[in-house]
Structure 1
Amino acid sequence: MMNRYAELLYWAGRYVERAGNHARLIDINYHMRHELYGQQDREYVWERLVESTGSVARFEELYSNINAGTNELTVLHFLTFERSNNNSIFNCVQQARNNLRTLRQLVPAEIWEVINAFYLWLKDQNVSQVMLQAPHLFYQRVREWATLFSGAVDASMVREQEWDFIQTGKFVERVDNTLRIVNTVHQQIRRESDSESDQYNRTAALLKSVGGFEAFRRQYAANISFEYVLNFMLQSSSFPHSVQYSLDTLVGHINQIGLPNRDYEALDERVSDLVDAMKSVIGPIRSGHVRVEDAALSHLVYLSNQLGGAVSTAFFQNVHVGA
């Protein structure tokens, strides 16, 4: 298998994970918008949702001169269906499908059938239909498709390099998604929250946006403070969306690939350095014992971007993988 194939598998894993992450984030923020933002101007509410996905610059580029501006329909269309937004749910699913179509001889038919059906269903949807059928039902269906894909990968793929490449993409994306959401909510709380109920609602939404509300409650009961949630999302060794868990799993998959190649050895060292740097920032953050500064979380986001770049370029552009 050539390095191009490895890259396609890696990005298929990232794209489907991103689609599921964005669907959950949109769903939670959309349906908790009144609790989160109260009587704030409606335009402000939708701007915060775009901010949570990290796509503000592209949104402003597309819609700043449109009379409709920042509103419910433009934001949901942009995040879900906009063809020129590389991070829209539609584009993520389409790119994953294109990648796996190229690699149909390398992946089980079950995986292709899932991603193809996911794409064909999504292609027939639009924002008007979403509003008619209730956004919650639509985004819940997107999440179900993404989960079905992940389940098909785990159930049908032989535990060889192809599986490790998809899983590497999945957990690189998961680290990035969790850190970006944590950083955004932390900034919003520092900038805007002026009551305990407001902070509680934002913190609960943060947990729900990564599917961690019930898992957190099992460990911390009703103590839903931002400090405890931050510790849980960064350091938990058992919650699948925590940064710690995702980094450990990611390193395991990269080590499992284990290619005897100088380029791979350089990548392995680079990934290890970045993971160690991220853990050195995460380590002191323990249940409110250390004040969390914006700079620390921003640095984690920066390191996460470096990690993704190291894997997707240094590895997949230089390493040839034996069939």
Structure 2
Amino acid sequence: MLSRLAESLYWIGRYMERAENTARLLTVNYYATLETSGQVSEEWGPLLDISGSKENFVRLHGRADGRTVPAWLAFDRNNPSSVSSSLAQARENARGLRDRIPSEMWECLNRAYYDLCFQNEEVLDRDGLFEFCSAARDTSQFFFGIAFATLPRDEGWLFMRAGQMLERGDNVLRLVQTRYRSHAADPAQLAVHNHRWIAVLKTASAYEAYRKCNHANVSPRTIAEFLLLNPGFPRSVRYSGENLHDALAGIDRIHPGAHPALLREAKWLVARLDHATIEELIARDQAELGTLLTDFNRIGSAISASYFTV
């Protein structure tokens, strides 16, 4: 497969996962601010850390509140992590692959582009943020469902899967890291923090799955352990790391021994997650969470350098 095609599929996987993650983040936080009136600014600020777009936001908008942050994360094309930007970039990558991917995948992206990517802050004026985010989330799930059902399990599938899992692991790590940092800063407000940790579960679409495993215990430690290390939950960091490695191993079978250092890096990440304990990950001011996030980003950079640099 040409590196251009592989790169497009890889970034489609990343952008579609990013659009869904951001849409979930906005939806859950929208309801959290309704339930904790009077602390709106405090609730919206951490979303910028989770999305990794705080520096650009501060430079362009300054104040983080219930108007500027949703507009930045949902509609602003100056933000490469916004829902609109992610969907538009996914469509642009797919446009050059229309003869290489099932027509249903293209139609899904093209329809979402025209339905969602020209929306603006008027959505907030009519209180339509929930509908916008729900449509974006459903688009991502529909797209990956079509891909799962129709895309051949070849090199293209593996690159798209690698991009999806890399983005998912990165997002959940940022989510847990940001919330745990806030939790450690003010442990006196236990009830408020527990409420926010339930929101973390809902942001990762993990609330029902977590409650099946932990009927009575809702604590930051057990929630963090579930989202980071649970081997069977498909949005946990461990699951993402394992599936990222499997995708890269599949690519390596097609190109035997082409990039052994990259595969070793992915295998080392899996080994760390397999043998880590939650105490190790959240100890010492959560330094290990930062290390894991760096590892995911390093693998992403290595994929680009190994397969996409001409």
Counterpart of 1:272 in structure 2 is 267
Task: Answer whether contact 1:271 1:310 (CA < 8 A) is retained.
Answer: no
After superposition, the C-alpha distances for 1:204-233 in whole angstroms (9 at most, x for unaligned) are 011001000000000111311111111111
Q: Report 1:165-204 matches (<5 A).
A: 165-204=159-198
Counterpart of 1:314 in structure 2 is 306
2:29 partner amino acid: N
Q: Distance in 1 between matches of 2:23 and 2:140?
A: 9
Q: Report 1:69-80 matches (<5 A).
A: 69-80=63-74
Counterpart of 2:32 in structure 1 is 32
Q: Distance in 1 between matches of 2:255 and 2:22?
A: 37
Task: Answer whether contact 2:29 2:44 (CA < 8 A) is retained.
Answer: no
Q: Distance in 2 between matches of 1:155 and 1:135?
A: 30
Q: Distance in 1 between matches of 2:49 and 2:281?
A: 29
| Corresponding residue pairs, total | 309
* Residue of 60, 65, 76 corresponding to 1:62: 60
Task: Answer whether contact 1:28 1:208 (CA < 8 A) is retained.
Answer: yes
* Residue of 272, 278, 285 corresponding to 2:278: 285
Q: Distance in 1 between matches of 2:29 and 2:292?
A: 23
2:268 partner amino acid: D
**Aligned in 2, Cα 1:237/1:277: closer, same or farther, shift over 3 Å?**
closer
Task: Answer whether contact 1:19 1:93 (CA < 8 A) is retained.
Answer: yes
TM-score, normalised relative to structure 2: 0.93
* Residue of 295, 299, 309 corresponding to 1:303: 295
Q: Distance in 1 between matches of 2:44 and 2:176?
A: 18
Q: Distance in 2 between matches of 1:292 and 1:128?
A: 44
Which 10-residue stretch deviates more, 249-258 or 176-185? 249-258
Task: Answer whether contact 1:130 1:138 (CA < 8 A) is retained.
Answer: no
Q: CA deviation at 1:284?
A: 2.0
* Residue of 150, 160, 176 corresponding to 2:154: 160
Structure 1 unmatched runs, 5+: 319-323
**Structure 1 stretches of 4+ moved >4 Å:** 277-280, 288-292
Counterpart of 1:96 in structure 2 is 90
Q: CA deviation at 1:107?
A: 0.5
Counterpart of 1:124 in structure 2 is 118
**Aligned in 2, Cα 1:96/1:207: closer, same or farther, shift over 3 Å?**
same
Q: 3-state DSSP class of the match of 2:157? A: helix
Matching of residue 142 in structure 1 with residue 132 in structure 2: no
1:59 partner amino acid: F
**Aligned in 2, Cα 1:50/1:131: closer, same or farther, shift over 3 Å?**
farther
Q: Considering Cα pairs closer than 8 Å and 6+ residues apart, tell me whether 1 or 2 has the greater RCO.
A: 1
TM-score, normalised relative to structure 1: 0.89
Task: Answer whether contact 1:267 1:315 (CA < 8 A) is retained.
Answer: no
How large is the RMSD of aligned CA atoms in angstroms? 2.1
Q: CA deviation at 1:4?
A: 1.5
Q: CA deviation at 1:196?
A: 2.7
What percent of counterpart residues are identical?
A: 32
1:95 partner amino acid: Q
**Aligned in 2, Cα 1:275/1:306: closer, same or farther, shift over 3 Å?**
farther
